[in-house]
Structure 1
Amino acid sequence: MTRRELAHWARQPVQVVVGLVFPVMLLLMFGYLVGGGREVEGGYVDYLVPGMLALTMAFGLEGTMLAVTQDLNKGVIDRFRSMPMANSAVLVGRSAADMLQSAVGLTVMIGVGYAIGWRPHGGVSGLLGAVGLLLLFRFAMLWIGIHLAMVAGKPELVQAVQILVWPIGFLSNAIATPESMPGWLGTVVEWNPMSQTATAVRDLFGGPGGEPGHVWAAVVWPLVLLGVFFPLAVRRFRGLSK
């Protein structure tokens, strides 16, 4: 199933390239067009890049969601059920392919960050720990997307669901500090799971905006989301045959 999804990359390279270029465009836009006037201790680029890495892990779910709904509507899932394979392979294969693409996207974003002057100061262990937290957050977001895709059921409804990712993504400290926001809004932003991941990643990178003690929250939040949406997705998938 994973090889099947990877084969789609070769047949649809434009979609893959767009998925990689879009977060790069956001990073450059906020870094050079929007972020110039923001005063962040330690430099805005060092604050922005870890936040954009976290934001990238929330974006791009529409590709997976569309693939799931298209398979459902074309009867592909029914054909898979007739084969000698575990039902879980359909969802796990799709998620494995998405995680591979997310790892590639992280590598590209880190390379662009280096190109614009960002540098991690937490050593190799900090870099690996930050990447691990980012991929864990992506894995949790991925299963939320898979569940919502099966609830939506149709590709045209995926776009409406995907719109919800934007306020969740930007209602975080990815591109701006909570201190620069109204008090009540800053409180909401600080409780956003993405903000917890971004803050923990900044701490592991040794950059501005990082606070010790947020790593545990960046681990617990994705595990809680996985604990809720993974069984919901599996149950929904099993119920498709009824």
Structure 2
Amino acid sequence: MTWLDKLEKRFGRFAIHNLTFWIMVGQITVYGLGLFTTFPVDNLMFYPDDVLGGQVWRVFTFILEPPLVAMSPIFLVFYWYLFYIFGSALEHQWGEFRFNLFFLIGLACTVIAGLINWVILPGLIRPSHMVTNMYVMTSITFAFAILFPNFELLLYFVLPVKIKWLALITFALWVITAQGIVDWTLIFAALGNIVIFFGRSFMQGAKVKQRRVSHEKQQKAIAEEAFHRCVICNKTDLDDPDLEFSYLAGDGYCQDHWEEMEKRANAK
């Protein structure tokens, strides 16, 4: 029984059913409140200085932050559509508890990283610095891409692309747009759930690949090694595939030297 099985057996009853749906509904609600009402949406976001000042709820509610509110409604619909597909697929593949745990680990790592950055890097973080949920939300896409790399979707409902390439492009954009240690800390933190859930599989896959490469090299070396070799002139069947070899007392002789050795053997 793995550690995940043990945790699920003990805490599985606390898992939130259809977590992806409720996160999506929460983000749509917050987006609507910010767009059409005077509701103080900013009070839900994760500002480390406010959290350390006692507004602890922000470490949970910041996950309801819509993806870049300035985006067009069409892009947001596409984003939530994909998020629901990916999250629901993971929940179906793993079960409710494991998907909950995956998301909770990513959330916790992001919160810890945000608070640590605030404490140890005060000179690099403004008091109004907000910790985004972008990285932990995208980790769901990465997990889906690992499990279903060849899943194909229509980007903007037009361009067909496999999810593994979309995930690689997304990560490349993270690397390109990361600004300093603060962003890099959040990136690595958001990938903590990926490492915990897939690290063992990655290591096993690397070992299998290493064994396969080693076996292929061994087979290639065997194929390139001569099967016959003359003990006198050192010619092999690789030098001349049509060259015939004979053996005497375990030693090999090419046809040019076999008659001579046969005469010597008969003479004795």
Task: State TM-score, norm by structure 2.
Answer: 0.28
Higher share of residues assigned helix: 1
Higher relative contact order (CA 8 A, sep 6+): 1
Task: State TM-score, norm by structure 1.
Answer: 0.30
Higher share of residues assigned strand: 2
